[in-house]
Structure 1
Amino acid sequence: MSTSLTIRRPDDWHLHLRDGAMLKAVLPETARHFARAIIMPNLVPPVVRGSDAAAYRDRILAALPDGMAFEPLMTLYLTEDTDPEDVAAAHASGLVKAVKLYPAGATTNSASGVKDFDRIAPVLEKMAEIGLPLCTHGEVTAAEIDIFDREAVFIDRVLDPVRRAHPGLKVVMEHITTSQAADYVRSVDRGLGATITTHHLVINRNHILVGGIRPHYYCLPVAKREEHRLALRAAATSGDARFFLGTDSAPHPDHLKEHPCGCAGCFTATNTMSVLAEVFEQEGALDRLEAFVSLNGPGFYGLPVNEDTITLTRGDAVTYPAKIEAGGETVTVFDPGYPLHWRVDA
């Protein structure tokens, strides 16, 4: 059994950093192990223009502790009023690496998202022309669709028609949760990738509901049946370049998670690499961990892989804090439910 594994420094292709005190608290948890991350734009108000992204990037870098190196890869929040030329200018400047599609009402701070997909066609055409990827929160929000079916229906009703209408558009299906999504990605030769979160490799819907409601496992898209978790594990550990890590690490104060209408999101930034090493070891695929966390994402986005490395060492169980402090609040760190034996030497 391997006791040490050295890999290129990983990147996170889907990350929530929030703002203000929360940003200052959670940023070091990612920067400790990750070189870069695609930063989600669903602030209040959202990051909709290039100038918004530039200002947010400045706040992120200002919050980075001395001695830490980290590159935020900025995104824009797609609305029905997004200006294609502003998007193109932000991309041309090197600032913006993707545009994020939230169907209106799909998740946290998505009220400004898209309802009429015809209205975003000019932006998608421009993005296809300049090679700027579209990151999708892949769920429909129609009330008649069961929450466990939202992703599969999104593929049929939204994603596939959008891709057919804009064949040159690069698309990332973010935080996929179903075997249908994994199969759809495999059915496409180019221009389509998918991120998989740490927590969806570990939990299924029983973890949220059996024995009492566990709010710190509640996320959107919600965890599905065990068969889907196993399909995600197979995809993540396959070595297939179309699948790469996007943690969707999403911090919320505990009092808003443990609430009658609790927020969706799992905060995994602190212990993700230890959890992933455990998962890949369980699947007999440690030799493919580097591809998933360090190589496939840069390949899809057309960016160089990181030159520096991290080393993971297997030994006695590693302990992580159960919570972190954030401006007088606490945020609960994701608990995989089993011991972690892989320590990260960054």
Structure 2
Amino acid sequence: MRSLTIRRPDDWHLHLRDGEMLKGVVGDTSRDFARAIIMPNLVPPVVTTADAIAYKKRIVDAIPAGDRFSPLMTLYLTEGTDADDVEEGKKSGLINAVKLYPAGATTNSHGGVRDFDKVMPVLERMAKIGLPLCVHGEVTTPEVDIFDREAVFIETVLEPLRRRVPELKVTMEHVTTKDGIDYIKSSAGNLAGTLTTHHLIINRNAILVGGIKPHYYCLPVAKRESHRLALRAAAVSGDPRFFLGTDSAPHVDPLKECACGCAGIYTSINTMSCLAHVFEQENALDKLEAFASLNGPAWYGLEPNTETMTLVKRDAPVTFPQKIETGAGPVTVFDPMFPLHWDVER
């Protein structure tokens, strides 16, 4: 196959940041994707519907002229979140989900949840009104090994939470383990998972073998090869519970290339080329549309996009910049470590 036409894809987990960084990166998403779930972990975070209104305006103002892109806004769950405000945001059509960050789990998550009893009224209201909870699925207790955080979170936090509020719709974001895949597959309902571009391609060796490579460091951290293979199998399966959420997360190079570097991999610019390569490797190009364009809208109660995207396989490798320049500084682009031949036709 040399050409593939699919519905225009969506990104169900995206970091756009703010200010000059937002202006520098939003075009890489809006060129290829029609919609994206926007993460709320700014400084200060997007906690209220008013915060989300203001942030959405900043995003819309930064979209390059001619691009058709709709940011889907979320709220950052804190122990002080107002259930009435969440419901009003949902009724207005602005708020598409609420994001749970366990405190300290990742970038700008220090304001996240420590005591789940304090957020139960909000979660119960969300279950009642059908608003999904997006979950960063890791525990942060220091005695748990970083490679085990996802599995322990499922056992000690997510499963008890879902038992308390079984009607709550939960999206496990950026699943990185076979444990997570198996947990979603074994669920009777109200549970789905996003998979990132980079976790389908790299395992933990990419970070550590031959020297520490900070531009492959993300949270949740990439795991061993057996987990990567489980993620790929889920992505290409056609199972409607799995869909694309890139977790593309830009940081300027000085904040990555330092003694205590930030977690995040920037993939928005080359995700569709990478995914076509992966799905072709798995003899599953016919499943790419479901993963990137159909399963996510179905989960979030939206119609799939009517516009289409055509991917063409070139004889010569497609080139992407090693870095993009933003007003905030340079951002290194994800390198999949193999040549990319699939190109988005423009």
Work out whether the TM-score is over 0.5.
yes
Q: Which residue of 2 aligns with 1:32?
A: 31
Query: Which residue of the partner structure matches residue 326 of structure 2?
Result: 326
Tell me how far apart the structure 1 counterparts of residues 34 and 254 of structure 2 sit (CA, whole Å): 31
Aligned partner of 2:143 in structure 1 is 144
Give the equivalent residue in structure 2 for 1:341: 341
SS at match of 2:126: helix
2:106 aligns to what? 107
Once superposed, which parts of structure 1, at least 4 consecutive aligned residues long, lie more than 3 Å away?
none
User: What is the DSSP-based 3-state SS (H/G/I as helix, E as strand, rest coil) of the residue aligned with 1:132?
Assistant: coil
Matched AA of 1:302 = G
* Alignment pair present for 1:317 and 2:325: no
Equivalent positions of 1:36-51 (< 5 A) are 36-51=35-50
Per the alignment, residue 254 of structure 2 pairs with 255
- Cα drift, residue 188 of structure 1: 1.1
Aligned to 2:193: 194
Q: CA deviation at 1:328?
A: 5.0
Opposite residue 341 of structure 2, the aligned amino acid is H
The CA deviation at 1:296 is 0.2
Report how far residue 101 of structure 1 moved. 0.1
Whichever residue aligns with residue 252 of structure 1, its letter is: H
> Shift of the alpha carbon at 1:193?
0.5
Query: 1:77 maps to which residue?
Result: 76
Q: Deviations over 1:185-236 (max 9, x none)?
A: 0001321100000000000000000000000000000000000000000000
Q: CA deviation at 1:260?
A: 0.5
Identity %: 69
In structure 1, what is the Cα distance between the partners aligned to 2:189 and 2:151?
Answer: 20
Confirm or deny: 8 A CA contact 2:21 2:328 kept in the other structure: no
> Which residue of 2 is the match for residue 167 of structure 1?
166
Equivalent residue number for residue 222 of structure 2 = 223
Q: Does 1:233 align with 2:196?
A: no
Deviations 1:12-66 (A, max 9, x none): 0000000000000100000010000000000000000000000000000000111
* C-alpha distance in structure 2 between counterparts of 1:328 and 1:112, whole Å: 24
Report the AA paired with residue 323 of structure 2. K
Whole-angstrom distance in 2 between the partners of 1:191 and 1:293: 20
In 1: Cα distance, 2:116 partner to 2:178 partner? 25
C-alpha distance in structure 2 between counterparts of 1:176 and 1:230, whole Å? 12
Please give the TM-score of this superposition, normalised by the length of structure 2.
0.99
Further displaced range: 181-190 or 211-220: 181-190
CA distance in 2, matches of 1:304, 1:190: 20
Return 5+ residue gaps in structure 1 as ranges.
Answer: none
User: Residue 152 of structure 2 aligns to which amino acid in structure 1?
Assistant: V
Alpha-carbon contact 2:9-2:32 (below 8 Å) kept: yes
Cα displacement (A) at 1:87: 0.3
Aligned-pair distance for 1:86? Answer: 0.4
Q: Return the alpha-carbon distance in structure 2 between the equivalents of residues 189 and 62 of structure 1.
A: 41
Whole-angstrom CA distance in 1 between matches of 2:345 and 2:307: 12
The one-letter code sitting in structure 1 at the alignment partner of 2:303 is P
d(CA) in 2 for partners of 1:72 and 1:161? 32
Residue 16 of structure 1 corresponds to 15
**Residue by residue, what CA displacement relative to the aligned partner does 1:55-97 show, whole Å, maximum 9, x if unpaired?**
0000000001111110000000000010000000000000000
The one-letter code of the counterpart of 1:48 is: V
Amino acid at match of 1:308: E
SS of 2:222's partner is coil
| Structure 2 residues not aligned, in runs of 5+ | none
Give the 3-state SS of the residue equivalent to 1:317 in structure 2: coil
CA distance, structure 1, for counterparts of residue 95 and residue 25 of structure 2: 22
Give CA-to-partner distance per residue, 1:307-339, whole Å, 9 cap, x none. 000000001210001110111510000000000
Equivalents in 2 of 1:227, 1:158: separation in Å?
24
Contact kept in structure 1, 2:76 and 2:100, CA below 8 Å: yes
SS of the aligned residue for 1:340 comes to coil
Give the secondary-structure state (helix, strand or coil) at the position aligned to 1:24: helix
Q: In the comparison of the two structures, how many residue pairs are matched?
A: 345
Equivalent residue, structure 2, for 1:209: 208
CA shift for structure 1 position 345: 1.4
Q: 1:55 to 1:253 in 2, by over 3 A?
A: same
Alpha carbons 2:3, 2:311 under 8 Å: kept: yes
Q: Given that residues 43 and 108 in structure 2 are in contact (C-alpha distance below 8 angstroms), is that contact kept between their aligned partners in structure 1? A: yes
| Residues in 2 aligned to 1:254 and 1:91: alpha-carbon distance in whole angstroms | 37
Give the 3-state SS of the residue equivalent to 1:144 in structure 2. coil
Partner Cα distance (1:190, 1:35) in 2: 27
Amino acid at match of 1:337: M
> Does 1:304 pair with 2:303?
yes
